[in-house]
Amino acid sequence: MAVILALITAVVYGIADYSGGRASRTASSASVTLVGQSLSFAIIICLVAILGDPIASTHDLVLSAVGGIGGSLGLLAFYKAMSSGSMTVVAPITALVGTVVPVIWGLASGERPGVVAYFGMAVAVLAVALVTDAFGIHDVKTPLPIVAMAVTGGLCFAIIFIALDHTSPDAGLWPLLALRSVSVPLILVVVLISKKPLMLHGVSLKFALISGVLDSIANGSYLFAARHGLLSVVAVISSLYPVSTLLLATTVDKEHLHKAQWVGVGCALMALVLVSVG
Per-residue model confidence as pLDDT tens digits over 17-49: 889 888 887 888 788 888 888 998 999 999 899
Residue 129 or residue 164, greater confidence: 164
**Chain segment 177-234, per-residue pLDDT in tens:** 999 999 899 888 888 887 766 667 788 889 989 998 998 898 889 888 888 887 777 8
C-alpha separations of 214 from 21, 37, 63, 72, 242 in Å: 13, 10, 22, 15, 15
Residue 157 has pLDDT above 60, yes or no: yes
Amino acid 197: pLDDT: 65
For residue 160, pLDDT beyond 90: no
Is residue 244 within 8 Å of 214, Cβ to Cβ? no
Helices within 24-143 (DSSP H only) = 29-51, 58-84, 87-108, 115-132
Check whether 139 has a pLDDT greater than 60: no
Chain centre distance of CA 32: 16
CB 264 within 8 A of CB 131: yes
Given this model, what pLDDT does residue 143 score?
73
Of 182, 153, 145, the C-alpha closest to 63 is 182
Q: How far apart are CA 115 and CA 123, in angstroms?
A: 13
Helix count (H) and strand count (E) of the chain?
Answer: 11, 0
Per-residue pLDDT tens digits for 54-77: 888 999 999 999 988 988 888 888
- Cβ proximity of 42 and 270 under 8 Å: no
pLDDT, residue 275, reads: 66
Residue 235 above 80 pLDDT? no
CA distance to 31, 56, 154, 172, 201, per residue, from 42 (Å): 17, 19, 25, 16, 20
Q: Return the pLDDT at 140.
A: 54
In whole angstroms, give the CA distance from residue 30 to residue 162: 24
Terminal Cα-to-Cα distance of the chain (whole angstroms)? 14
3-state secondary structure of 229: coil
Q: At 32, is the secondary structure helix, strand, or coil?
A: helix
Name the percent of the chain lying above pLDDT 70. 88
CA 204, 210, 216, 221 dihedral sign is negative
Kindly tell me if the per-residue pLDDT of 96 is higher than 60. yes
What pLDDT score was predicted for residue 142? 62
pLDDT (tens digit, 9 = 90+) per residue, 240-250? 777 788 788 88
User: Is 134 buried (19+), middle (13-18) or exposed (0-12) by CB count in 10 A?
Assistant: middle
d(CA 112, CA 76): 34
pLDDT averaged over every residue in the chain: 81
| Euclidean distance between CA atoms 54 and 123, whole angstroms | 41
The structure's pTM equals 0.75
